[in-house]
Structure 1
Amino acid sequence: CSTAPRRRSSSPTRTGAPTATTWISEPAAAPSTATSTDTRQDELLWGAAWLRRASGDDTFREYIQNNGKTLGAEDSINEFGWDNKHAGLNVLISKEFIEGEALSMQSYKESADSFICTLIPESSSPHIQYTPGGMIYKPGGSNMQHVTSISFLLLTYAKYLTKSSHTVNCGDISVGPDTLRLQAKKQIDYLLGDNPMKMSYMVGYGDRYPQRIHHRGSSLPSIKDHPERMACKDGTPYYDSSSPNPNPLVGAIVGGPGEDDAYGDDRADYRKSEPTTYINAPLVGVLAYFVGNPNPGHIRH
């Protein structure tokens, strides 16, 4: 029994994942028109790519080569997150092609380049939506997951390009690694306060940040302030309250504003006010990079 009403259904789960010792010999899944939420196709390729990276075993690369098309590797899905690994898969696999170790993986490099071009507003290629204030935006809620995960991919691909002196051909312009780093920095600057709302979307950072996040532990009083037992529905008044959360969840990043850059700081609007691990996780690597490289236009090699 919850202490406050939940305004959405639980996320779908994936079942039937193969074991570590047997999955590589499993027949490829049949093509599906279902969304990635209902399949594990991208997960099989993503797992094979990381096992190849960790072990150097050619068996995993052969699995990708033999099953990639069937498992949707050629799908043009410009997204990277907990439920769709396609863009990350292309960036990860393209490393071997860029370094000249796997020329047979050229199609993954081409897909990675295509993804990168969608992130460059100056490119003649069709690109993803940006808000008027400059934030990457995709419909569906918890938008900061796209900001943090795509920023991570931009920095990763910039690293690969730098080591190989490669660039990305985006129609009438050539995009180098410095452009990718600057694009990532713009997104993180937006997240931390350089936006039309002049608000940091990380709790506890800056002078203005979300006060009413959609998080049970943050919105309920602490046991020190409320030692009495709370019954099943006793949390509802705190959920409905317009007061700031009594327990700030410092460091948490909320879903963030919508396509108009507006953020109402409303606890009930979970699509904007709920923090998640899949928003925070990619940002750890991004912030670590910028701590070591505060000026992305002049990177130490």
Structure 2
Amino acid sequence: MDKMKRVSIYALIVAIVITITQFNFQYECSSATTAFNYGEALQKSILFYEAQRSGSLLTSNIPTRLLWRGDAQLTDGQKEGLDLTGGWVDAGDNIKFGVTCAYTTSLLAFGAIEYKDAYEKSGQMKWLQNQLRWINDYFIKCHPEPNVFWAQVGMTANDHNNWVPIEVTHLMNDRTAIKLDEQHPGTEIAMGTAAAMAASSIVFRNTDPTYADKLLEHAKQLYEFGDKYRGVFSDVISKVDPQGAAAYTSHSGYNDELVWGSIWLYKAMEDKSSGSGSDYLAKAKEYYNGIGKEANQQVHKYKWAHCWDDQTFGCYILMSQIEPETSLYREDAERWLNWWTVGGTEHNADGTKISYTPGGHAKLDNWGSFRYASTTALFAFVYSDKLSDTVKKARYHDFAVKQINYILGDNPRKASYMVGFGQNYPQHPHHRTAHSPWGQEMDTPAEHRHILYGALVGSVDSTDGFNDVISDYVSNEVAIDYNAGLTGALARMYSEFGGTPIPDSSFPLPDKPHEPKDEWPVFAKTYFNGTSVPSFH
């Protein structure tokens, strides 16, 4: 071989090595974890719930770190002869929906149970417990008798027609409450609230066992109510508040809540006394048989996400951990997580998978897709943490990391989709109280008066674009259920990647400058003329 040929071959080899090296470098860079302050993100995700508080903040022993919030809806329940003050309002509106309050509480408690060390190390457990106590105290008020639960406060159409902050809703909005009882059952809400209170009892078991016992007793009564008196909650709501039933319709029925409630009563009973929850576990197994099938398939459904309407998917994960030797639960869990990650036909799946945006967001739906992805991320973390299969362990873990990082800023817009986190976050979330107008107009003032720290907005579009406009409630509304799974997933991210929460001494956090005259309570009666305005979600 002559010298020129040897040089050419050598050059070719060098070029190939360089190409491979560059490819590996690019691959490693593209798959590397982008660092965010996960401690701060977790902290702010919990802080968001303080903005949603209804009731008397000023006299409560549960503090608020948002000084722009005040007492609100102090007449709730008076018309019914009860005290139904407290709790959380649902979203950018000012209604208290039992179905989302229950769902959110169970998921927040779940995250605190799974990642207790992360909450304690970050100093956020006390703040999460504050919010769990706030909402559970409200549940106790809503449950004055064993077979009675007040499932909603506020009428949807009236509330959505009035673009006003929470502090003045009692002046303008119909705050009628809706009751579930033996003649008007709502199994989803009864079971969902039972799960929420049972899960919360585990969170409080070591620090306040008396309160934990109280929550567990209410949970047991609500479980019996929901199990014995079967009925679809939205059928009851629709008779009093048709628009509310339309917003929160039980599409999946109540079989999923029967399983979800049974699982959490089992876990809470076992947490108090080992061996005492066996009856509830037996119920969970029995009711699991009623979980629906995927359309035109012979396997349990897997093409959706754990959400306020359908808690089937979390049941897969929890049952697979309670009884890991039962292949049915494991296969259901992995078929669901595979659909969110790689698709394929394992466990008799049909080979399809969820759609992704070009930037990597797993987009289930146009409305609120971030909540679905972040909640699935939480369950993917929980499942992967206990896997020995290294391929699947990495698959589900890496999916979860990618989805949470996308939300925090690792996306084509380099934008955070958590309000008040990062440098480029939404400025116009669809939220009445943060906007704080005093003329019932969504565009006046042009800028929000307050920063809604920690709120997760709804969704990017299919090309990773985002419409930061207050009137776009599909992409830019916030809600208590949106942050529920995200909060637990952020605790898991903090446990692995770290971060530093803002010191408590630095609160309140900076807000937009305003004067007392800017706020609704001063001018509400002056500016309200009793006329209706266009409907705002």
1:180 to 385, 396, 407: 396
Shift of the 86–182 alpha-carbon distance from structure 1 to 2, 3 Å rule, reads same
Classify the secondary structure of the residue corresponding to 2:386: helix
- 2:265 counterpart residue number: 51
Q: CA deviation at 1:110?
A: 1.0
- 1:20 counterpart residue number: 222
Is the Cα–Cα contact under 8 Å of residues 36 and 83 in structure 1 kept in the other structure?
Answer: yes
- 1:127 counterpart residue number: 353
- 2:337 counterpart residue number: 116
Q: Report how many residues are paired.
A: 257
d(CA) in 1 for partners of 2:494, 2:261:
30
Q: Deviations over 1:251-288 (max 9, x none)?
A: 11110212221102011110111111111121221111
Residue 318 of structure 2 is aligned to residue 92 of structure 1: yes
Alignment of 1:222-241 (within 5 A): 230=438, 234-236=439-441, 239-241=442-444
- 1:4 counterpart residue number: 163
Is the Cα–Cα contact under 8 Å of residues 213 and 267 in structure 1 kept in the other structure?
Answer: yes
Shift of the 213–70 alpha-carbon distance from structure 1 to 2, 3 Å rule, reads same
284-293 vs 146-155, greater mean Cα deviation: 284-293
What letter is aligned with 2:371? Q
Q: Deviations over 1:123-151 (max 9, x none)?
A: 56321111111101112401111121011
Q: CA deviation at 1:157?
A: 0.4
d(CA) in 2 for partners of 1:284, 1:197:
23
Gaps of 5+ in 1: 6-12, 168-174, 222-229, 296-301
Q: Deviations over 1:102-121 (max 9, x none)?
A: x3xx3121100101111223
132-141 vs 21-30, greater mean Cα deviation: 21-30
Quote the RMSD (CA, aligned, Å): 2.9
Gaps of 5+ in 2: 1-157, 165-178, 191-220, 233-248, 271-276, 294-298, 346-350, 499-537
Is the Cα–Cα contact under 8 Å of residues 227 and 258 in structure 2 kept in the other structure?
Answer: no
Q: Deviations over 1:138-168 (max 9, x none)?
A: 124011111210110110101221xxx246x
Q: CA deviation at 1:70?
A: 2.8
Q: Which runs of 4+ in 1 moved over 4 A?
A: 27-30
2:290 to 65, 70, 75: 70
d(CA) in 1 for partners of 2:362, 2:333:
18
2:432 to 197, 205, 216: 216
- 2:464 counterpart residue number: 261
Is the Cα–Cα contact under 8 Å of residues 193 and 201 in structure 1 kept in the other structure?
Answer: yes
Classify the secondary structure of the residue corresponding to 1:137: coil
Alignment of 1:29-48 (within 5 A): 36-37=250-251, 39-48=253-262
d(CA) in 2 for partners of 1:108, 1:245:
47
Shift of the 27–160 alpha-carbon distance from structure 1 to 2, 3 Å rule, reads farther
Q: CA deviation at 1:68?
A: 2.3
Is the Cα–Cα contact under 8 Å of residues 366 and 459 in structure 2 kept in the other structure?
Answer: no
d(CA) in 1 for partners of 2:310, 2:366:
14
Q: CA deviation at 1:38?
A: 6.0
Is the Cα–Cα contact under 8 Å of residues 186 and 231 in structure 2 kept in the other structure?
Answer: no
- 2:306 counterpart residue number: 80
d(CA) in 2 for partners of 1:263, 1:71:
36
Shift of the 139–21 alpha-carbon distance from structure 1 to 2, 3 Å rule, reads closer
Shift of the 241–116 alpha-carbon distance from structure 1 to 2, 3 Å rule, reads same
Identity of aligned residues (%): 28
Shift of the 255–59 alpha-carbon distance from structure 1 to 2, 3 Å rule, reads same
1:194 to 393, 398, 410: 410
Q: CA deviation at 1:80?
A: 0.6
d(CA) in 1 for partners of 2:338, 2:262:
26
Is the Cα–Cα contact under 8 Å of residues 192 and 200 in structure 1 kept in the other structure?
Answer: yes
Shift of the 254–25 alpha-carbon distance from structure 1 to 2, 3 Å rule, reads closer
286-295 vs 257-266, greater mean Cα deviation: 286-295
Q: CA deviation at 1:243?
A: 2.8
**Larger-Rg structure:** 2
d(CA) in 2 for partners of 1:71, 1:26:
19
Is the Cα–Cα contact under 8 Å of residues 28 and 71 in structure 1 kept in the other structure?
Answer: no
d(CA) in 1 for partners of 2:434, 2:318:
36
Classify the secondary structure of the residue corresponding to 1:264: coil
What letter is aligned with 1:108? Y
Is the Cα–Cα contact under 8 Å of residues 202 and 209 in structure 1 kept in the other structure?
Answer: yes
d(CA) in 2 for partners of 1:40, 1:25:
10
Classify the secondary structure of the residue corresponding to 1:207: coil
Q: Deviations over 1:161-189 (max 9, x none)?
A: 1xxx246xxxxxxx332322211111111
What letter is aligned with 1:75? H
**Higher RCO, 1 vs 2 (CA within 8 Å, ≥6 residues apart):** 2
Q: CA deviation at 1:208?
A: 0.8
d(CA) in 2 for partners of 1:291, 1:22:
38
Q: Deviations over 1:60-111 (max 9, x none)?
A: 222123232234376314311111111111001000222x4xx3xx312110
What letter is aligned with 1:268? S
What letter is aligned with 2:321? K
Is the Cα–Cα contact under 8 Å of residues 131 and 261 in structure 1 kept in the other structure?
Answer: yes
Scaled by the length of structure 2, the TM-score of the pair is: 0.44
d(CA) in 1 for partners of 2:361, 2:338:
16
